[in-house]
């Protein structure tokens, strides 16, 4: 009898503790993750995400890369003498970070160009996009996965530009930003029914409007504008978007799974490296700029 009473008493205490846990007020971090999960994940994955969600580590990658890009812009806009800083002048184009077609042997330029922006409008647009989208994505998928997608877009952007627009310089983080956009957009489209159709349509329309506006400005600067500044390639936008729609989609659709065990990931990686190898050989043997 005593043992039975003790057991029932213990069960009653456990029930009280569970009730307290369920009725405990949600923290600010909990509310943030609930909002993020509704934007970033299909319905059937949100509960699994919220069980493990926390604000640690913070979105270190996307914040760090944004600070680095802003710091480089401020350096060339303020410290290095410029006639104006809305659109940086000729001195700006001599820095060692920009991808220049006649300096493609300096291999770091294929990545470092992402740190350099040609004007206020250029950097503000990229920073807003990558922070608004990148921070929630990184909270869900963590920095190493966001970094993989972002850098895949950056490298794809410079290599594609060197192949399809080989006589034009390249600046800006658009390749990485469009990789994030491409991966997110593909997840919304593929999981459309699970991500609230009406809300899903709104998200797709917002992305299309933003991308369309940005691409319109890029095409205008490349082919229509007659300003004295050097022409800048827009091909990185397309290449970054494609990298995001392949590698990015695979990464973002497996937030709680091991990527190494997903055959889609290896198919995308194989296709990506095939393109990289082709672009490297093109730059070595066939590039028209000498």
| Catalytic sites, residue numbers | 174, 237
By the 8 A CB rule, do 179 and 244 touch? yes
Alpha helices in 91-196 (DSSP H): 109-112, 120-141, 143-164, 174-190
User: Nearest 5°: phi and psi at 116?
Assistant: -110, 135
Q: Distance between CA atoms of 78 and 101, rounded to whole angstroms?
A: 27
Q: Evaluate the omega torsion of the peptide bond into residue 57 and state whether it is cis, within 30 degrees of 0.
A: yes
By the 8 A CB rule, do 173 and 125 touch? no
Nearest to 24 by CA among 13, 16, 34: 16
Q: Distance between CA atoms of 71 and 60, rounded to whole angstroms?
A: 16
């Amino acid at each position: 009898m005593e043992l039975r009473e003790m057991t029932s008493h213990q069960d009653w205490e456990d029930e009280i503790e569970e009730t307290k846990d369920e009725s405990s007020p949600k923290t600010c971090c909990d509310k943030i993750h609930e909002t993020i999960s509704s934007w970033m994940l299909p319905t059937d994955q949100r509960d699994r995400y919220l069980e493990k969600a926390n604000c640690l580590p913070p979105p270190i990658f996307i914040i760090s890369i944004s600070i680095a890009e802003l710091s480089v812009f401020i350096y060339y806009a303020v410290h290095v003498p410029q006639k104006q800083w809305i659109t940086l002048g000729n001195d700006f184009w001599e820095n060692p970070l920009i991808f220049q077609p006649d300096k493609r042997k300096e291999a770091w330029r294929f990545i470092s160009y992402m740190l350099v922006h040609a004007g206020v409008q250029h950097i503000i647009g990229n920073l807003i996009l990558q922070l608004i989208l990148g921070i929630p994505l990184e909270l869900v998928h963590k920095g190493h996965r966001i970094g993989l997608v972002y850098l895949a877009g950056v490298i794809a952007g410079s290599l594609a530009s060197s192949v399809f627009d080989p006589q034009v310089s390249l600046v800006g983080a658009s390749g990485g930003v469009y990789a994030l956009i491409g991966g997110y957009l593909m997840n919304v489209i593929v999981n459309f029914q699970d991500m609230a159709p009406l809300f899903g349509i709104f998200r797709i329309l917002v992305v299309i409007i933003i991308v369309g506006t940005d691409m319109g400005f890029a095409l205008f600067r490349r082919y229509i504008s007659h300003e004295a500044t050097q022409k800048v390639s827009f091909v990185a936008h397309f290449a970054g978007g494609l990298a995001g729609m392949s590698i990015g989609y695979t990464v973002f659709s497996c937030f709680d799974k091991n990527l190494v065990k997903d055959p889609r990931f290896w198919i995308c990686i194989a296709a990506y490296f095939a393109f990289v190898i082709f672009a490297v050989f093109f730059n070595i043997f066939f590039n028209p700029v000498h």
